Chain A
Amino acid sequence: MIEAIIFDFGGVIAVPDDEAAWRAHKDVMGAELGFESGAAMWSYIFEGQEWWQAKTGRISDDEFWRRLLEPLGISTLNARRQWVQRLYGPSGGVHPRVRSLLAQLKGRYKLALLSNATDWLATALGEVHQLDGVFDVVVVSALVGLAKPDPAIYELTLQRLDIPASATLFIDDQARNTRVAEALGIPSIVFPGVEELWTLLAQRGIL
Chain B
Amino acid sequence: MPIKAVIFDFGGVVLASLGEAYVGEWARRLGLSKAVLKSALWGEAWHALELGQMDDESYRRRVGEALRLPDLGAVSLFFQEFYAAEQLYPQMLDLIQRLRRTGRVKVALLTNAFVGQDQVMRRKWGLDPHTMFDLYINSAEVGLAKPDPAIYELALTRLDVAPGEAIFIDDNVDNAHAAARLGIQAIHFDSAEALNGVIAQVEKLVGIR
Contact = CB atoms under 8 A, between A and B. Distances in A.
Interface of A: 47-49, 52-53, 56, 58, 145-147, 149-151, 176, 179-180, 183
Contacts of B156: 52
Contacts of B52: 183
B110 to A, nearest CB: 14
B144 interface: yes
Contacts of A180: 142-144
B12 to A, nearest CB: 25
Interface residues of B, number: 19
Interface string B137-155: 0000011100011100110
A49 B183 contact: yes
A107 to B, nearest CB: 33
B130 interface: no
B181 interface: yes
Interface of B: 51-53, 142-144, 148-150, 153-154, 156-157, 162-164, 181-183
B143 to A, nearest CB: 4
B143 A52 contact: no
A30 B156 CA distance: 30
A48 B183 CA distance: 8
A149 B148 CA distance: 11
A48 B178 CA distance: 10
A154 B154 CA distance: 13
Given A150-B157, A176-B148, A49 B162 contact: yes
Contacts of B183: 48-49
A52 B182 contact: yes
In the A-B complex, the 3 residue pairs with the smallest Cβ-Cβ separation, listed nearest first, are: A49-B183, A180-B143, A49-B163
B153 A47 contact: no
B143 A147 contact: no
Contacts of B144: 149, 176, 180
A78 B149 CA distance: 32
Nearest to A56: B157
B100 to A, nearest CB: 24
Nearest to B160: A145
